[in-house]
Amino acid sequence: MAVRACTLPTPLGPVTAAADDGGLTGLWFIGQKYYPAHAAAWPEDPDHPVFRALAAWLEAYFAGRDPGPLPPLAPKGTPFQLSVWERLLAIPRGQVTTYGRIARRLAADMGRATLSAQAVGGAVGHNPISILIPCHRVVGGGGRLTGYAGGLEKKEALLRLEGADLALESITLPGM
């Protein structure tokens, strides 16, 4: 499966998208932490159906409208990373949770007494599909804005766009 790429504008700066035959494999703000070093080698294919769907989704999202269903996603990662990213997809728009809450829920699902919030943070930080797999909805203990590969100013802008309440009392999520 050959990787294709597309650069799209957003109000927070341009993003590079990558896709293979399985769907969207990556979405990074240009120059962000963990930006793929080999992205320049990917052939540009802005007319690929995944990129057209992504462009429409991002346009609606940044306009404050319901963007509808996600384009097909195909992130690549370890089983642990994939389980964390699946949890991120369950965080509703406009809500946040903490690394610790995700760790506790995953530990319970795995039949373990504990799981490191730092391990969850590492997986969240390496999320290859920014915005759509909403790692920006994960905050530190006490509601602190921490850790976002695209930069904390982008994390804060995304949360404001979604109308997230960052007051500690609002950081509750059923099942998390």
User: Which residues have a catalytic role annotated?
Assistant: 135
Question: Do strands 138-139 and 97-98 pair parallel, antiparallel, or not at all (unpaired)?
Answer: parallel
What is the rounded distance in angstroms from the CA atom of residue 55 to the CA atom of residue 38?
22
Q: How many residues does the chain have?
A: 176
Output the six-digit token pair for 30.
Answer: 């240009």
Single-letter residue type at 165: D
Rg (CA), the chain: 16
